[in-house]
């Protein structure tokens, strides 16, 4: 059987990336790890996020023999992807970053909003990414404390669903006016993989004309390119087509929450999900 592609996030947010990966690479197998027992990452600091990232990668390599890794978390990419590549030089690794460049290409008003975690927005990687964009763009950066946590619980807790709505309202209000008129934000970058699952709430607040951009599809295409260039891309006939074989979802947190998210967002059966305990990473 083919080695799977490992995908992980602090929790269920990376399922938005897994969705795009499965559509782009239907012949590949996937093992997804939601580190929900340690979510959210966004307000935890780099050292914590880097240690979790190393522990998860070690586990996915040792227990699942992954052939490639997708870090489906902006916060973990910002905090740890360079060190991760150094530790695993033979493993193709794809990260996710807020889609500033595509947003800069699409805006007409020149004013772009970015919703992301505090960790992502405060990172050196983000500063570099922002500095590489056209100088005339005005960026409205909004750290969204608590939003990933509320999304994490929304499928199993009605109070969390209301909290998602309230936080989306609070943060979009804080960013100023949205719309297509002069001086308005016409493009919103969803710089955290969890926020894709708050699209409906955001759409209701922002109206039909504001563009929302996430990174699932470009990351899936980049993963295909990387597999192809390293001769690892599955060819016809490699996959069984059976869901039980093609995708495994693991969580370090609440199994019922992962099962609910997998069913609601990806149409996957509860049997695709399991709990996992991870040993702590040793980082030299």
123 binds ligand DGL (CB under 6 A): no
Looking at beta carbons only, is 25 or 148 nearer to ligand DGL? 148
Q: Which are the catalytic amino acids?
A: 73, 192
Residues 6+ apart with CB under 8 A from 99: 189, 191, 213, 214, 215, 218
Helix, strand or coil for residue 91?
coil
117 binds ligand DGL (CB under 6 A): yes
143 binds ligand DGL (CB under 6 A): no
192 binds ligand DGL (CB under 6 A): yes
Beta bridge partner(s), residue 142: 115
Binding mask 205-234 for ligand DGL (x = CB under 6 A): ------------------------------
257 binds ligand DGL (CB under 6 A): no
Candidate segments 73-81, 171-179, 203-211, 233-241, binder of ligand DGL by CB under 6 A:
73-81
Strands 111-116 and 68-71: what pairing?
unpaired
Beta bridge partner(s), residue 178: 185
Query: Rounded to whole angstroms, how far apart are CA atoms 49 and 255?
Result: 22
Least distance to ligand DGL from the beta carbon of 72, Å?
7
73 binds ligand DGL (CB under 6 A): yes
Residues 6+ apart with CB under 8 A from 146: 163, 167
**Alpha helices, DSSP H, located in the chain:** 15-24, 46-64, 74-87, 100-106, 118-121, 124-131, 147-153, 158-175, 199-206, 216-229, 243-246, 255-266
Least distance to ligand DGL from the beta carbon of 196, Å?
9
Of positions 55, 148, 168, 257, contacts ligand DGL by CB under 6 A: 148
By CB under 6 A, name the binding residues for ligand DGL: 9-11, 13, 39-42, 73-75, 117, 120, 148, 192-194
């Amino acid at each position: 059987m083919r080695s799977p592609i490992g995908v992980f996030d602090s929790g269920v947010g990376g399922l938005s990336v897994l969705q795009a990966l499965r559509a782009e690479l239907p012949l590949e197998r996937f093992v997804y790890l939601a580190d929900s027992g340690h979510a959210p990452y966004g307000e935890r600091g780099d050292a914590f996020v880097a240690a979790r990232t190393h522990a998860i990668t070690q586990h996915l390599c040792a227990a699942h023999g992954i052939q490639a890794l997708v870090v489906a978390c902006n916060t973990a990419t910002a905090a740890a992807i360079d060190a991760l590549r150094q530790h695993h030089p033979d493993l193709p690794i794809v990260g996710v970053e807020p889609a500033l460049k595509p947003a800069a290409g699409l805006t007409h008003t020149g004013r772009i909003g970015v919703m992301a975690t505090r960790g992502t927005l405060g990172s050196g990687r983000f500063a570099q990414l922002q500095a590489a964009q056209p100088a005339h763009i005005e960026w409205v950066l909004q750290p969204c404390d608590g939003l990933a946590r509320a999304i994490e619980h929304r499928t199993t807790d009605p109070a969390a669903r209301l909290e998602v709505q309230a936080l989306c309202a609070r943060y979009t209000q804080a960013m100023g006016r949205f719309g297509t008129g002069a001086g308005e934000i016409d493009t919103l970058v969803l710089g955290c993989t969890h926020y894709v699952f708050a699209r409906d709430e955001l759409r209701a607040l922002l109206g039909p004309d504001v563009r929302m951009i996430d990174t699932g599809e470009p990351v899936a295409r980049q993963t295909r390119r990387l597999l192809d260039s390293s001769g690892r891309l599955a060819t016809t006939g490699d996959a069984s087509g059976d869901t039980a074989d093609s995708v495994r979802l693991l969580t370090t947190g609440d199994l019922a929450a992962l099962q609910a998210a997998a069913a609601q967002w990806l149409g996957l059966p509860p049997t695709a999900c399991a709990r996992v305990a991870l040993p702590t990473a040793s980082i030299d």
